[in-house]
Structure 1
Amino acid sequence: MSVLGVGFIGAGPVTQAIHLPHLAGLSDRLRTVHVMDVDPGTAEAVAARTGARASTSVAELLADPRVDVVAVCSPHSFHAEQAEACVRAGKKAILVEKPFATTVGDAERIAHVSAEAGVPVVVGAMHTYDPAYLAAAHHWNDLPATARHIRSVIQLPPNSRYETLATQLHGTPPPPPTADLTSPDGRTALMSGLILGLAIHNLPLVRRFLPEVEAVDHAILLDPAGYSVTLHGPDGRTAELVGHIGHSWRPEWTFEAWGADTSLHLDFTPSYVRAGSAEATVRTPEGTRSFGPFPHNGYAAEWLHLADLANGVTDPLHSPKDLVEDLAYAIRLADLAGRFLSREGARA
């Protein structure tokens, strides 16, 4: 197959420190040919690293005939408009970074346009593409239907530590404004941002084992940045979600699910670390099976899947309906956790 040209809308830290290093290792399939950013200095500096064209206009990127696939890595509020423009421009496949959109209505619009035009859209939920996770799925029997408790833990040092190791960042965006935690609205907004910015990495996995959230039983904010949320579904299943950005170097990124006689444990590498896939363990009455680490992590796997979609040699791993429902799940959870927090005012 010919090498596909990739265009980036947005050249921030995720593009620079995650996507470009991964694409460098997949140069036989994909090559960065165009980098667009509203800051011309950032666009030019980042594009120069790969010999790509630089621009400050989405329209200019979409008009570039060398761009076969597009990665939408802009601020969340622009995802829906830009993803729709990419589809309508007739590109072969689109990657939209998390979250898919900021409203369910916008996500439904992207899904509709994608289906109508026959242009596949992938959301950057990298763990759903992780080879160890997918291998484990063939051996966990009926665990998604019988799991009683789920736990997702994301314990990381600040992103800047990984970014510094991964690349030399250009044009680091300013930090978000400090939330006013003395007000219910401030606490709600911070919790929502943490759910849709950090917890969302694992929420498609959580939804697979807990398809519906009935209520949030407990939610607190963690210092210096993070959350602890417990919830339950209508059938008595429970889940515990912990996310924490602290000062410790030692990371933990795990996902676990337990049923009556079957359990799943996944240990993921941090996003910025190209150290292969997760390691997965499935325990059943028949014994214990382990999977991974495989050479590719979820980011590399989703890019390879995107290339196959663009070439028309595979079907989407996740349907447009799945992508919309994943976002609706995340938004509902953020809303329920925010409401709980605004009532209780809890912070650890």
Structure 2
Amino acid sequence: MTESTLGVGILGAGPVTQAIHIPTLARLRDVLHIAHIMDVDANIAQSVAGRVGADWTTDVDELLADDRVQIVVVCSPHQFHAAQVIAACRAGKKAVLCEKPFAMNQSEAEEIAKVSIETGVPIIVGAMHTFDPGWLAAKDNWGDLVDIAHTIRYSIVLPPNSRFEDFATEIITRPVAQQRDRTDPEVAAGMMRGGIMGLAIHDLPLVRSFCPDFTDMEVLSAQVLSPSGYLVNLRIGDQNVQVRGVNTNSWRPEWIFEAIGDQVSLRIDFSPSYVQAGSATAVLRRGNRSEVYGPYSYNGYEGEWRYLAAVARGTADPLDVTILIDDLTFAVEVADRASEFVRNAMTAVGAAA
């Protein structure tokens, strides 16, 4: 590490930090170095920091007071995101990266936007696929697909995160998962909302690229999948949108985004988050012709970090914070409406029985 590289402070040293951000930053030593790691568990903070030669702490304020930390990444549990992003902005850092979701509701998002504008500290949300070279190449070449696509499909089929995390991390104590009664309407509604805000939110910004005006949204169907997952069919304006995610015990992962028109279609295959295997591959079909973009040498995580470093140095324009608010608003709308659909449908079935 040298003075020519930007110092990174990490709030939360769990599986995402260990299995994704640390390996990514290791490939970017010419640009960034990890200066300080915070976790509420002192053993985890000390052990993870020791791997990368960083200082460690259990106190958020101590990390934010470290002048060597120029970029803060928030990898803590969701409920702490908003307060920690705001604190990082008020600490005068050069930029903040927050894992998804960066807020739990509209009021938190608006407060973050207000503080970001007041302090001049740019914020990036870790929707890694929006920085993936495969996605960006498709976006540069899809022409009028946004206007003519009538069907949007977004599907994730993955083994449980724990399978990846147990390979890539050493010191996380995994709590025993509690069995939940998915026949209870409130439990099922909560599982639906959790699935949308925890997994689907990764690529809902991509969906929103094709549905920028989502004021006319209707949930056609929604169900909680077994053993764990969700399936939601939406009508947004004139477009049909399907959002699906399921965790299975098979080792056949897929992460696919599709936009389909009558004569033009796009399919993008992303690697699973914990697999550092380069970029997505995008296939754009026009009639009988196909154009293939990717795979490129790096993935969206590396793309977001390189962009973040450029923003911190002032060599790239920061994202408009209103885009982040709109992305979150869209995700919350989908989550709230789908969970309400599940609650009402299951209540009606129970009443009929």
Q: TM-score range by the shorter chain?
A: over 0.9
- 1:263 touches 1:282 (CA, 8 Å); kept in 2? yes
- 2:10 touches 2:73 (CA, 8 Å); kept in 1? yes
Segments of structure 1 that go 5 or more residues without pairing to the other structure are: none
Q: CA deviation at 1:189?
A: 0.9
Aligned partner of residue 186 in structure 2, secondary structure: helix
**Paired position in structure 2 for 1:248:** 250
**Paired position in structure 2 for 1:181:** 182
**Paired position in structure 1 for 2:320:** 319
Q: 1:102 aligns with which of 84, 87, 104?
A: 104
**Paired position in structure 1 for 2:331:** 330
Alignment of 1:220-235 (within 5 A): 220-234=223-237
Aligned partner of residue 153 in structure 2, secondary structure: strand
Q: CA deviation at 1:289?
A: 1.3
Summarize deviations over 1:43-62 as a string: whole Å, max 9, x none: 11111110111101110000
**Paired position in structure 2 for 1:200:** 201
Summarize deviations over 1:1-20 as a string: whole Å, max 9, x none: 81111111011111111111
Residues 176 and 4 from structure 1, CA distance in 2 versus in 1: closer, same or farther, beyond 3 angstroms?
Answer: farther
Q: 1:139 aligns with which of 141, 149, 157?
A: 141
> In 1, Cα distance between the equivalents of 2:93 and 2:126?
17
| Identity between Structure 1 and Structure 2 (%) | 50
- 2:11 touches 2:38 (CA, 8 Å); kept in 1? yes
**What TM-score results when the alignment is normalised by the length of structure 2?**
0.94
Aligned-residue RMSD, C-alpha = 1.6
Summarize deviations over 1:101-133 as a string: whole Å, max 9, x none: 001111111112112211110000000000011
Q: CA deviation at 1:309?
A: 0.6
Q: CA deviation at 1:288?
A: 2.1
Aligned partner of residue 6 in structure 1, secondary structure: strand
- 1:40 touches 1:56 (CA, 8 Å); kept in 2? yes
**Paired position in structure 2 for 1:343:** 344
Q: 1:26 aligns with which of 8, 25, 28?
A: 28
**Paired position in structure 1 for 2:277:** 275
What one-letter code is carried by the residue in structure 1 that aligns with 2:60?
Answer: V
Summarize deviations over 1:60-108 as a string: whole Å, max 9, x none: 0001111110000111111111000000100001000000100111111
Residues 176 and 65 from structure 1, CA distance in 2 versus in 1: closer, same or farther, beyond 3 angstroms?
Answer: farther
- 1:226 touches 1:242 (CA, 8 Å); kept in 2? yes
Residues 202 and 272 from structure 1, CA distance in 2 versus in 1: closer, same or farther, beyond 3 angstroms?
Answer: same
What one-letter code is carried by the residue in structure 1 that aligns with 2:234?
Answer: L
Q: CA deviation at 1:172?
A: 3.3
Segments of structure 2 that go 5 or more residues without pairing to the other structure are: none
**Paired position in structure 2 for 1:266:** 268
- 2:11 touches 2:60 (CA, 8 Å); kept in 1? yes
- 1:17 touches 1:169 (CA, 8 Å); kept in 2? no
Is 1:91–2:110 an aligned residue pair? Answer: no
Misfit runs of 4+, over 3 Å: 175-180
**What TM-score results when the alignment is normalised by the length of structure 1?**
0.95
Q: CA deviation at 1:176?
A: 6.0
- 2:15 touches 2:169 (CA, 8 Å); kept in 1? no
> In 1, Cα distance between the equivalents of 2:103 and 2:251?
32
**Paired position in structure 2 for 1:38:** 40
Q: 2:67 aligns with which of 42, 46, 65?
A: 65
> In 1, Cα distance between the equivalents of 2:170 and 2:232?
33
- 1:6 touches 1:69 (CA, 8 Å); kept in 2? yes
